[in-house]
A and B are shown apart, each in its own frame.
Chain A
């Protein structure tokens, strides 16, 4: 319906810059005299250059506005931008002597509007939106119809009454046409103002949802009236009215359908972008824009299409794309939308200066202003009255006032009125002037006053509090309860159908549209949990390792999280993610040097061991963003910190990794198609029971990278991983049973290994030391267990001198001890894999021990233990193993060892 052919922003610079630019443009026309050393090619770059400069000006203006907090807290940005536009327009007019650089409808509809609508659709709080869909639809459809009819008719009425100048030549149809375009609440204006006002979310979503959805109605009305006007009112048949009504449904439903189809495509496409992460954000934008253009092409409601696309795809897309892409999408979308919005308001201001298109009629202007306010209020009150009969939470008077007052008109109306054909609508100039006044009035006056009004009326504001896990849990429980109660009552209402939809979504849609790895983890509750974990961890690191409030907590009857089922070698290997893994857990010793050694290892690791990299290849890839070494190191140090933090967070959080690793394990299992995963029964289930406490946060942080983009990560980023582990026999015997939880595990630093250490006869142990280092850096991880094992075994054999304590131990625990030899290794391996039948239920932390352990591990001054490691350490390292400083040297040490 809109002429799609428009130059981008066919206009030169503003103000003085425009003059220069014009002069330069003039020069470039001169015939070239010989070979010019430098040629001025303004015309070749004019269009894009201007676009860039406009956006730049708009952005700079935005920066300037926000320099003063005082101004922006009172005056909405949209007002300021319009005013700036007026000023700029005035300057251009004064310099160029003619008004230029208008807001062109084509530019507006094809380039400026889509980003804003996509942004609002994509970030629409969908739950809220659908909860209030009924009200939103009512206001959008009935309200807009009502507004346009009444406004149009009333204007026609005052014209008939002779209150307008006779030069306003317009019939009833013209007025109805005008009414249709002036009556629609504008999403851009509403968003700009309401985002700053912070009314409660129900109110916001109703006003905002209305402004988005009424587009369909506006488009239809506009088109129908326009064609009626063009046909001439005498030629309009009854059938045309019917068609007009039918087109309402076609346009709106068609637009929504287009949007949903594209949302589906988008979700499906992102499912397969695992290897080309870099184009993920692009896909989101492209397909959404394609939805917009397709709807526009079919003259359906494009706004509706792109809104539905955004709303529909978000869940799946967010689950599919990588974390970085998610951030990229978010920022790009916000940037584009904000740019577009800024430019729109500025151009609106500039367009208003052009008096050649104006024709002022006081009666028309005042009448329109009066009527749109009046009928908006009237419509809202009437509709709310009807809606409140059905709504369980009625909208009260204050809400209604804000809703009536929040009906801002904006650039959509302006663009539509510019599109009118002057030959068919003789009063176009009057309409343009009136529209500009209305837009300015609503955006500036109402925009300025709505904040004080909201304050004065004490409208319930939205309180932005951080989501809590409890809240999420309760709300979910709540949904289920409500659905159940509806079922009991026998009235299948909203909750019932929402429940049904969720079932369907879980069963089919998510399976189809989400990546396997994604739909496993994606659950709202899980999501919140995950985010909270990360947030906690980050704040922990920010605080420099200060122990959080909940850390010292003990919950009674905290059953163990042994569950050997998910601990296996595969698991271990997968966690190590990017390197070969040396597995000390197979060395099962009781009260031997091994234990001490393990403990030492843990202290080492807890000291923030940085994984050494064998290869630092200078990589420059267009397709993958590789972090630089510093970033990588930071990340790892961060993770180390997390680990330590976790240990203080005690047992609860440990389960994160359980499940995560389980996921991972599954994946590995799937890949290998049921190899040594869970099918090896063995008689030593408890052995694995202290494995699960792998670094939860590491997983949480890295999971995306590791599991999804593992290919890219692994190729250039492999390190040596040390895995050490003490056996739980030790702890069983010598510790409070509860502290089982905190016993050492490969990657997480035991919260209080010191408990064990204290009680174990460390000092008496012989100083034999075997730190096994595997230098394998090939990708053995999930792919082939067997190779992996062979490799680590061979490295074991080559590197480690078999500790003498083992022989004795082997006698005691034939299966448990793990000689560094391939054939015997299998058994313990199998043991690891075996699920544990009996969970250690119902123990608590021994708080004092835990405390002691924490304080000790925090101070990380484990001097006595460190000495045991001397063979590997450089002599000067003795006793100075503070987490930060010792890292580097340790790396070197280990690295050297690895290359043996």
Chain B
């Protein structure tokens, strides 16, 4: 099959890197090939703004997917915290589209607009106001009392962590990865 399967060495390396089992890697690889049309990389079809990768190879694919791995039961506090941080960092980058380390209002608005675009009855304006409100809230959570002339630039990663404080990200951000051959059923 693919290059990764031909050498078990490579698979082992990926296992170490991403924490998937080799079964899962094989599954994902199959899926990857399905998505890429048997190419080595998946092209980014969307005309996206700059800063996005044009194509990703299987390893990238795996790395992304590994963010969604469920947490291991035998992790200790520190690992959990690390895992949580990693997951949040991934999320943060999804918001932070220009990857300048800040979620600016503009970026936040885009997200919210996308989020609400499914509801035709909520206009862009309200989406924006929601984003604005959320930004205000974030600012008040993270900075506290602000001076009137103080300007809140955007949510930094630390602020982001603060916002997520109450939410168990580690119990939510995961997707089931299969060990067995069931992917075919989905198609």
Contact in complex: A655, B139 (CB < 8 Å): no
Q: Complex Cα distance A742/B70, Å?
A: 49
Instruction: Write the nearest CB–CB distance from A416 to chain B, whole angstroms.
Output: 37
Most buried by A among B111, B148, B152: B148
Taking a contact as CB atoms closer than 8 A, the residue among B28, B123, B137, B151 that contacts A662 in the complex is: B123
Q: Give chain B residues whose Cβ lies under 8 Å from the Cβ of A519.
A: 121
Q: Which residue of B lies closest to A659 (CB)?
A: B126
Asked if A653 is at the interface (CB within 8 A of a chain B CB), the reply is: yes
Asked if B135 is at the interface (CB within 8 A of a chain A CB), the reply is: yes
Contact in complex: B172, A491 (CB < 8 Å): no
Given contacts A519-B121, A851-B148, contact A492 B186 (CB under 8 A): yes
Contact in complex: B68, A485 (CB < 8 Å): yes
Within 8 A of B (CB), among A356-397: 392-394, 396
Instruction: Write the nearest CB–CB distance from B186 to chain A, whole angstroms.
Output: 5
Asked if B40 is at the interface (CB within 8 A of a chain A CB), the reply is: no
Q: Which residue of B lies closest to A533 (CB)?
A: B133
Taking a contact as CB atoms closer than 8 A, the residue among B65, B115, B148, B171 that contacts A489 in the complex is: B65
Q: Give chain B residues whose Cβ lies under 8 Å from the Cβ of A566.
A: 125
Most buried by A among B71, B125, B140, B145: B125
Q: Give chain B residues whose Cβ lies under 8 Å from the Cβ of A471.
A: 163-164, 166-167
Give the size range of B's interface with the partner.
35 or more
Q: Which residue of B lies closest to A475 (CB)?
A: B167
Q: Complex Cα distance A532/B94, Å?
A: 26
Contact in complex: B163, A662 (CB < 8 Å): no
Contact in complex: A474, B163 (CB < 8 Å): yes
Within 8 A of A (CB), among B106-165: 106, 111-112, 115-116, 118-119, 121-123, 125-126, 128-141, 144-153, 163-164
Contact with B along A577-588 (1 / 0, CB 8 A): 000000000000
Q: Give chain A residues whose Cβ lies under 8 Å from the Cβ of B112.
A: 473, 525
Given contacts A469-B130, A490-B34, contact A557 B106 (CB under 8 A): yes
Contact in complex: B130, A529 (CB < 8 Å): yes
Instruction: Write the nearest CB–CB distance from A504 to chain B, whole angstroms.
Output: 12
Given contacts A525-B130, A656-B126, contact A553 B116 (CB under 8 A): no
Q: Give chain B residues whose Cβ lies under 8 Å from the Cβ of A844.
A: 151
Contact in complex: B123, A556 (CB < 8 Å): no
Asked if A621 is at the interface (CB within 8 A of a chain B CB), the reply is: no
Q: Which residue of B lies closest to A396 (CB)?
A: B73
Contact in complex: A655, B137 (CB < 8 Å): no
Contact in complex: B175, A485 (CB < 8 Å): yes
Contact in complex: B134, A470 (CB < 8 Å): yes
Taking a contact as CB atoms closer than 8 A, the residue among B133, B175, B176 that contacts A652 in the complex is: B133
Instruction: Write the nearest CB–CB distance from B28 to chain A, whole angstroms.
Output: 7
Asked if A678 is at the interface (CB within 8 A of a chain B CB), the reply is: no
Dominant secondary structure of chain B at its interface with chain A: helix
Given contacts A549-B146, A550-B136, contact A526 B122 (CB under 8 A): yes
Given contacts A393-B70, A480-B115, contact A523 B135 (CB under 8 A): no
Asked if A787 is at the interface (CB within 8 A of a chain B CB), the reply is: no
Contact in complex: A658, B130 (CB < 8 Å): no
Contact with A along B76-114 (1 / 0, CB 8 A): 000000000000000100110000000011100001100
Contact with B along A466-482 (1 / 0, CB 8 A): 00111101111110111
Instruction: Write the nearest CB–CB distance from B31 to chain A, whole angstroms.
Output: 4
Taking a contact as CB atoms closer than 8 A, the residue among B118, B128, B150, B177 that contacts A554 in the complex is: B150
Q: Give chain A residues whose Cβ lies under 8 Å from the Cβ of B173.
A: 478, 482
Instruction: Write the nearest CB–CB distance from A240 to chain B, whole angstroms.
Output: 38
Contact in complex: B137, A470 (CB < 8 Å): yes
Q: Which residue of B lies closest to A526 (CB)?
A: B122
Within 8 A of A (CB), among B15-58: 28, 31, 34-35
Contact in complex: A558, B183 (CB < 8 Å): no
Q: Complex Cα distance A131/B20, Å?
A: 25
Contact in complex: B175, A495 (CB < 8 Å): yes
Asked if B6 is at the interface (CB within 8 A of a chain A CB), the reply is: no
Q: Give chain B residues whose Cβ lies under 8 Å from the Cβ of A850.
A: 148
Contact in complex: A474, B167 (CB < 8 Å): yes
Q: Complex Cα distance A470/B176, Å?
A: 26
Asked if B7 is at the interface (CB within 8 A of a chain A CB), the reply is: no
Q: Complex Cα distance A550/B147, Å?
A: 9
Q: Give chain B residues whose Cβ lies under 8 Å from the Cβ of A660.
A: 126
Q: Give chain A residues whose Cβ lies under 8 Å from the Cβ of B171.
A: 393
Q: Which residue of B lies closest to A472 (CB)?
A: B134
Q: Complex Cα distance A659/B129, Å?
A: 9
Asked if A763 is at the interface (CB within 8 A of a chain B CB), the reply is: no
Contact in complex: B129, A532 (CB < 8 Å): no
Contact in complex: B175, A491 (CB < 8 Å): yes
Contact in complex: B151, A555 (CB < 8 Å): yes
Q: Which residue of B lies closest to A471 (CB)?
A: B167
Most buried by B among A463, A481, A550: A550
Q: Give chain A residues whose Cβ lies under 8 Å from the Cβ of B141.
A: 468, 470
Instruction: Write the nearest CB–CB distance from A605 to chain B, whole angstroms.
Output: 22
Q: Give chain A residues whose Cβ lies under 8 Å from the Cβ of B71.
A: 393
Given contacts A392-B174, A470-B134, A474-B164, contact A550 B186 (CB under 8 A): no
Given contacts A490-B186, A555-B105, A848-B149, contact A482 B126 (CB under 8 A): no
Q: Complex Cα distance A566/B125, Å?
A: 10
Q: Complex Cα distance A700/B16, Å?
A: 54
Tell me the B residues contacting A by CB distance below 8 Å. 28, 31, 34-35, 65, 68, 70-71, 73, 91, 94-95, 104-106, 111-112, 115-116, 118-119, 121-123, 125-126, 128-141, 144-153, 163-164, 166-167, 171-178, 182-183, 186-187
- 8 pairs of residues in contact across A and B, judged by CB atoms under 8 Å: A394-B73, A473-B134, A480-B115, A493-B175, A519-B121, A556-B151, A557-B105, A848-B148
Query: Closest 8 interchain pairs by CB?
Result: A655-B129, A659-B126, A847-B149, A652-B132, A520-B121, A552-B148, A550-B140, A392-B70
Tell me the A residues contacting B by CB distance below 8 Å. 392-394, 396, 463, 465, 468-471, 473-478, 480-482, 485-486, 488-495, 503, 506, 519-521, 523, 525-526, 529, 532-533, 548-550, 552-558, 561, 563, 566, 649, 651-656, 658-660, 662-663, 844, 847-848, 850-851, 854
